[in-house]
Amino acid sequence: MKQITENQPIGVFDSGYGGLTILREIVQKLPQYDYVYLGDNARTPYGTRSFETVYQYTLECVKLLFDRGCRLVIVACNTASAKALRNIQQLDLPHIAPGLDGPARRVLGVIRPTTEVIGNYSETGEVGILATRGTVSSESYLVEIEKFFPDVRVYQEACPMWVPLIENGEYDSPGADYFVKQHLARIMAQSPNIDTLLLACTHYPLLIDKIRQYVPKTITILSQGRIVANSLANYLHRHPELESQISQCGNRQFLTTDSADDFDRQATVFYGEAVQSVYCSPEVHVR
Ligand code: DGL
């Protein structure tokens, strides 16, 4: 096994740019740590792909981040969290990151932190989940919310056009209104009592202004960035043995499996500042 090196950043992974909306909030909350972001832009979107494919791609990306020294990887993609995280945690980590007392490296997702708190935002006890087809069909949100808030009723709507619109820079265009309106009308038609809508895809915060235009003002619209950042801070506090291993030089590195120039052009709107990325292949790693 590869030796753990001095440079041990926190890895943040998404199928494309969406995870940058999570990284942005994490960095704001925990600026002291080093971070490496990986966007699997060459193979995005994940939301329409099979369980097996999303699992294979996610595992490759997690291994790549481990090879870059990450002790902890945040899967900042709901689709990958829904379809791959449990397998990686239970089946793969014991082999790819063996340790004396449990795995030497950890992988966390974005669904659990969100479902732990979502019920606190709703007064009616009825929440709507807007997500990719993959996340919706996995039913992960239904299962996880039931664990923490058994009385909360959950409604789901898959919005397959939203990620392509966002990835193609059309999130602000008049064309986007049609699809935003369509899916919001569908989810709100499921119950008049929904008072909280979760943007359960890390790309969707870019549509938040449009979404606000098409739902009543009384509806709470939740993005996950801050929730995940708070949960990570809490996790690191509860795991000082892991926290003490993470390097703290305030470095940020950006990797993409597609064109670095394209990544740098697009990433700013998701991350809120300019980035300089480096190309890397998801298939090259030693483990
Ligand atoms: N950002 C990803 C998520 O949170 C979805 C993007 C995709 O379909 O690849 O689910």
Two tokens at 81? 């969290």
> 178, 206, 223: which is the final residue of a domain?
223
On whether both 185 and 94 belong to a single domain, the answer is no
Q: Is residue 218 located within the same domain as residue 126?
A: yes
Residues 213 and 268 in one domain: no
Running along the chain, 287 residues long, what does each successive block of 10 average in pLDDT? 66 97 98 98 94 97 97 98 97 93 93 98 98 96 98 98 92 95 98 98 97 97 98 98 96 98 96 97 64
Q: What is the pLDDT of residue 274?
A: 98
Asked whether residue 2 is assigned to any structural domain, the reply reads: no
The answer to whether residues 116 and 216 belong to one domain is yes
- If asked whether residues 217 and 230 sit together in one domain, one would say no
Residue 286 falls inside a structural domain: no
For the record, the structure tokens of 114 come out as: 């969100």
CA distance 6 to 1: 16
Residues ≥6 apart with Cβ < 8 Å to 1: 98, 287
- Name the helix (H) or strand (E) containing 114: helix 111-117
- The pTM of the full predicted model, rounded to 2 decimals, is 0.94
Nearest to 4, CA basis, from 89, 104, 108, 106 = 104
Ligand 1 test: best mutation among 51, 79, 138, 157, most atoms within 8 Å of CB? 79
* Within a domain: 217: yes
244 in a structural domain: yes
* Catalytic site includes residue 61: no
CA angle 59, 62, 63 (to 5 degrees): 85
Q: How many angstroms does the Cα of residue 80 sit away from the middle of ligand 1?
A: 8
Instruction: Judge if 208 and 116 occupy the same domain.
Output: yes
67 with 166, same domain: the answer is no
DSSP letter for each residue of 134-158: HHHHHTHHHHHHHHH-TT-EEEEEE
For ligand 1, the distance from its centroid to the CA atom of residue 85, given in whole angstroms, is: 14
Cα 54 to ligand 1 centre (Å): 11
Per-residue confidence (pLDDT) for residue 1, from 0 to 100: 40
Considering the domain architecture, whether residues 211 and 245 belong to the same structural domain is answered as no
- The number of folded domains in the chain is 2
Ligand 1 contacts (CB < 6 A) are 14-16, 18, 44-47, 77-79, 132, 135, 163, 201-203
Domain that holds residue 192: 112-223
Same domain, 236 and 270: yes
The strand pairing partners of 73, in sequence order, are 11, 107
Residues 36 and 172 in one domain: no
Determine the pLDDT at residue 286.
Answer: 46
Query: Of 61, 77, 159, 280, which residue is the catalytic one?
Result: 77
Q: Is residue 284 part of a domain?
A: no
Boundary-marking domain end, from 203, 223, 243:
223
Would you state the pLDDT for residue 60?
97
- Among 179, 204, 223, identify where a domain stops: 223
Does 1 fall in a domain? no
What are the C-alpha distances in Å from 111 to residues 102, 182, 257, 281? 22, 25, 24, 27
Q: Whole-angstrom Cα distance, residue 199 to residue 212?
A: 12
CATH at 156:
3.40.50.1860
Same domain, 125 and 256: no
The reported pLDDT for the residue numbered 167 is: 86
What contacts 257, CB < 8 A, 6 or more positions away?
38, 39, 40, 41, 42, 43, 279, 280, 281, 282
In a domain, 287, yes or no: no
Residue 131, phi then psi, degrees to nearest 5: -155, 180
Establish if 23 belongs to a structural domain.
yes
Question: Which pLDDT value is given to residue 287?
Answer: 46
Are both 33 and 99 inside the same structural domain? yes
